[in-house]
Structure formats: C-alpha cells, structure tokens
Homo-oligomer: A and B are copies of this chain.
Amino acid sequence: MDFSLSNEQRSWQMLARKFADEEIRPISLACDAIPTARETFDWEIIKKGSKLGLRTMAVPKKYGGLETDFVSQALVMTELAKADSAISKAFSQNWKWSHLISAACTEEQKERFLKPFVADDTFVLGKGITEPGAGSDNRLPPDDDSKPGLKLKAERHGDEWILNGEKAFIANAPIGKLFFIDARTDPTVPLKQGITMFLVPSDTPGFRIGKVFNKSGWRFYQNGEMIFENARVPHANIVGGVNGAVSKTGGEGGDTTGGDLFGDLELCANALGICDDGCQSALRYAKTAQQGGQALFAQQHVQLKLNRMFMMTEALRSFVMRVAWEHDQKIHSYNAGLAMNYSTDVVQDVTELYMDIRGAEGRYMDHHTDKLVRDSFIWSHLAGDSVSRMKVTRRIN
C-alpha cells in the first residue's frame, strides 16, 4: 500500500497545475460565456498544451509520444479540470483514442495515423458511436434482438467501404482530424457481433460535420453531428477486422486499459478536478464572506456542508487513484465503472452544496459556481444514468 507519487508522476502533476493556473483558468469563464456553441473552442490553449505534451501523453514513446502511466494521466486530468473541466476533457479525449490506436491498430495504421497525430499540435481525435436513434442501446444492447443499436451502414465495394448514415453528439467532431467510426456491417446479428470500426480522416469524401450541439455545461468541449453520404473509406482503415469492433474497444471482456474503459477513469478523474475546485472555492468563500459580522465558516450549517464536500471529494480521490493504479497493473475489475458512476453522485453533490453555501448574491448567481453545477450535470448522461450503472453491475459476479 503506497499512496505516494513517483517523481515523474509528481512532475506531471506540477506541470499540469501550472498550466491550469496560468493558462486555463484565465480563459475558462470567458469561453463558457460565449453564446454560440460553435465558437467556444480556442485553438491557442490546445496548441500551448500540446507543446507541453498534454495532447500526446498517452502515445507510446516509440511513436514519439510520452507514454505516461495511468496514474500520471489521472493526475493531469484532475489538475486541468480543476481549472476547467471541459478543457481538461478536450485534451484527455485524445489520450482515450491514442490508447485505442496503440491497443487495436496495426503497425501500418499506427505509422499512417499516430505519427501525424504526434507531429501536429492541432491534430485532434474522436470516435463516433452514438446516433440520433441509438445511444444507450449501443452501451447495453439486448442479447436477443439485432435491431437496436447503431444504424450507420458500411458496405464493401472492392477495396473501399461506402458509409451512409449519421452520428450525433460526437465529441470533437467539429474540430477533429481523425475519427474512429463504428458502423453496421452485419445487420442480421446482435449489435456486438455485427459492427466494424473504421478510421475516418476528416477530409474523407462524402463525410461532413453537421450542427454543433449547444450544451448547457462543458461549453468549450465540442460535440457535433457527423453526416456520411456515400463516404468512402479504404479497407485498410478497418480496425480489428470486419465485425470485430467490440472486442477491440474494451467492451465486456475486452482490453480493459485502452479505449472505452479508459473513459471510466477519465470521467472520474475529471470529476475529481471539479470537486477540488468546488471544495477550495467553497472553503475560501466560507472563510472570507461575512454574515452578521462573522465569517460564514463560523456557522454550523456551513461547516456541515463543507464536511460533506471534502468527505466525498477525498473518498473520490482515493477511488480514482486506486483505479488508475489498477489500470497500470492491467487488473481487470469493475472498479473503474463503479468509480465513474460514483463520480456522478459526488461531482453533483459537491457542486450543488457549493451553490447552497453561496446562494444567489443579490440578483445573480456567481458565474463560476453556476458553471461548476452545469458542467457537473454532464455526468448524469455520460456516467451516472441507469444504463451506465446497470452495465457496471453486470460486470460484478
């Protein structure tokens, strides 16, 4: 048992903290306040972070990346999220899919895609699964019915596949250069056995981006529509074989350290950053804001709220670090999923308690407080809905 950090982990944490303090926090509220969803993104912060390695830290050294361990990745996500959860996610989203490239792509594909990814500070990755009519059906498809789930169709024509259909709510869609796209290649079998994953560059003919979704929280982080109209993808861009998507993305029983399961760690480590921000902001506020001539902190009801905030946050930190370590040890467990579910409850409870402590100040709610609460709600949908929870429960046995 050892909760201490290695020098390397510690230095990643420090680097991220400095970057968060000096670069992210100063722009966070301004980006959040931009009314048009398509305009919230800021390439400058991505480029600056990329130069520090924050875009490519999950890429193996042999491909020019920094090959950090999962503990370092968790620490960095938390530190960045402490300044802005959506910007943290904009970086870590790239690690998620660079894990997938490492785990699932052929050497030839790595050569073709990882190298340019590493070389270009504005090369951003994404993955398209969800469709307008298929969200949770992809995550928890019924075993006995082939109809539910994604519909985007891919048909082979010689050395190419022709893709037709739509994806919705796809992270980084409006800004990404390369996407993993799940498509139906066998509509007659249950979802898990009939989908194939394609590597689709953004300049693929027949492929374009539709609207950018106008989210309430995570404003900086872009989610968009993808439209495939006879989009042509070379056969060489198939990841893991025809009808073999699920086994490569870390679904049930697959690789538990890359792809989807990194997503569990990602969400809970990010939530931890929001919680840290919430706790520290609340404590600072309680120590400085006055009521009746005393600091708010003197009041029992404020102490009890702070207690709950710190208590849940430290429980979450303990859980997140354990999960990160388990990932590094390649331990298969349901803990990553549980920690992700848990982070939903914690991040919402903590930020709402912070809002409680502040209350409306005069006629307005503090913008930063409101942002934390809005950002936290994203977890309801990504990490804490009943499908997410049932899916994790079914791993327990």
Binding site for B on A (CB under 8 A): 1-6, 9, 71, 283, 300, 303-304, 306-308, 310-312, 314-316, 318-319, 321-322, 324-326, 328-329, 334-335, 338-339, 341-342, 386, 389-390, 392-394, 396
A334 CA / B304 CA spacing, docked (Å) = 14
In Å, the complex CA distance between A307 and B328 comes to 24
- Can you give 18 contacting A-B residue pairs, CB < 8 Å? A1-B6, A1-B325, A4-B329, A303-B389, A303-B393, A303-B394, A304-B386, A304-B390, A306-B393, A306-B396, A307-B393, A310-B338, A310-B393, A315-B338, A315-B339, A315-B342, A318-B321, A318-B322
Q: Are A304 and B389 in contact (CB under 8 A)?
A: yes
Give the residue among A5, A71, A307, A338 with the most B Cβ atoms within 10 A.
A307
Contact yes or no, A324 B1, CB < 8 A: yes
Contacts of A300 in B (CB 8 A): 386, 390
A392 to B318, CA, bound (A): 18
Among residues of B, the one whose C-beta sits closest to the C-beta of A75 is: B1
CA distance A364 to B396 in the complex (A): 29
Q: Which residues of B contact A319 (CB under 8 A)?
A: 314-315, 318-319
Separation in Å of the A174 CB from the closest CB of chain B? 34
Whole-angstrom CA separation of A315 from B316 in the bound complex? 7
Instruction: Kindly state the separation between the CA atoms of A197 and B241 in the bound complex, as whole angstroms.
Output: 73
Q: Report chain B residues within 8 Å CB of A338.
A: 307, 310-311, 314-315
Q: How far is the CA of A390 from the CA of B334 in the complex (A)?
A: 34
**Chain B residues closer than 8 Å to A316, beta-carbon distance:** 315
How far, in Å, is A54 (CB) from chain B's closest CB? 20
